[in-house]
Amino acid sequence: MFKPLIVGLSGPILTHDEIDFIQAHQPWGFIIFARNVETVDQLYALTAHLRELTNRIELPILIDQEGGRVARLKAPEWPKFPAAGVYGEMFEASPDMAIEACQLGHQLMGQELYQLGIRANCAPCCDLRQPDTHDAIGDRAFGDTVDAVTRLAQAALGGLAMSGVAGVVKHMPGQGRATADTHYDLPSVSASVTDLHDDLAVFEAIVDQVPMGMTCHVVFEAYDPHLPTTISPTVISEAIRMRIGFQGLLMTDDLGMDALGGSLATRGAKALAAGCDVLLHCSGFVKDPVAILKEMEEVADAAGTLSGIALERASAAETACQAPIEFDQNAASARFGELMAKMEARA
C-alpha cells in the first residue's frame, strides 16, 4: 500500500538511503527540483530508476515548471518559457492571440516533460492577482480579472493535457490576496466571503479540467479565522470541496514552508485530518542529504496509508492524462515564436 506522500529527493541520483526509504515507505509520488537536474539523459535516468524501483510505469512524478522564474528545467539544456503574467499582458491586447500562445507554450513545455518521464506539472497558478499581491506570486499569476485568468488557465491545462501531462492547479482557494510569502510567514486574508467570490470563481470555472489541486498556506478569516487552508477542515470542506466543487486529488503545498509552524509530523497529521488527500514534502530549505532524509522519514511516519476516498482520487489522478496527441513540434515552435514576437513588437 502507498503512503499519501509526494517527496523530493536530494540530488541527481538516488542515494542508497533514499532507495531504502522508497522501498520501506512506498510514497505515492515524487517531485523534481533543480537539485535533481543536470542533463536530459541524467534526468531521464533518474525518473526511469524511480519507475523501475516502484514497478509503476505511470508513477506520478511531478515538477514545478510554470515558466518564468519558476522553472526547474533551465536553458540552455531546455527551452525557456514565459511567466504566466506575460500571457496576461498579451491577453489585454489580444485575447485570442494570448490563448493560442498559452496553449502552444504549455503543449511544448508538456512535451519536454513527457519525454523525461514526468507526468504532472504543478501549474498553472490560478491565483487572481490583486494590487497588493505579494511578489511570491506576482507574475506567476495570469492576471487580475476572472475572465483572463480563467481562459488562460484553461488554455494552459489543455496544452499540458495534449502532451500527456496532468496539471496541478494552485493555490486553492486562491493566494492572490496574500501579502506575505508563505515560505517564511503566514498570511491572513480579511476579505469577506462575498469579496472572495472572484478568487474562487476561477477555480470553479476550470474544475472539470483538473485532476489535481494544491492548497495554500493562507488564513481566510471569513471561513476560519484561526487555521490556514492546508490544515483547516472548514476551508477545505466549505471553500474547496463545496463552493469550488473540486473533487479531485488535493495535495498540500510544501509542508516545509514556515507558514504552518510546528513539527513536520504535526503539520502532516493536521493536513490529512483536515481533508488533504496527499502530503507534499519538498525539503526546499535543506541542502544536506542526511537532513533531507530525516525530514522525509518524519513526514512518512505521520502519513499513514493511502486509503478510502483519497485512494480513489489518487487512482483517478494517475489515469487522468491520456497519451499525447501527435503534433509537428517544429511548426508549433515556429508559431509560438511568431506569437511571442508579435507581443514584443506591440510592447
Catalytic residues: 183, 253
Sign of CA dihedral 235, 188, 72, 38: negative
Cell of residue 135, nine digits: 511578489
**Chain centre to alpha carbon of residue 256:** 15
Residues 12 and 141: their CA atoms lie apart, in Å, by 30
Residues 117 and 113: their CA atoms lie apart, in Å, by 7
Show the DSSP H helices in 127-206 as ranges: 146-162, 197-206
Q: Is 215 left (phi over 0), alpha (psi -120 to 50) or beta?
A: beta
Q: What are phi and psi of 88, to 5 degrees?
A: -65, -40
The one-letter code for the residue type at 207 is: V
Residues 272 and 275: their CA atoms lie apart, in Å, by 5
* Long-range CB contacts (within 8 A, 24+) of 224-231: 227/274, 228/186, 228/259, 228/260, 229/172, 229/173, 230/260, 230/267, 230/270, 230/271, 230/274, 230/276, 231/260, 231/267, 231/270, 231/271, 231/273, 231/274
Residues 196 and 199: their CA atoms lie apart, in Å, by 5
Q: How would you class 199 by CB atoms within 10 Å of its CB: exposed for 0-12, middle for 13-18, buried for 19 or more?
A: buried
Cell of residue 59, nine digits: 508513477
Residue whose entry in the numeric block shows the C-alpha cell 514576437: 341
Angle formed at CA 11 by CA 5 and CA 15, multiple of 5 degrees:
80
Give the residue among 268, 276, 280 at the shortest CA–CA distance from 246.
276
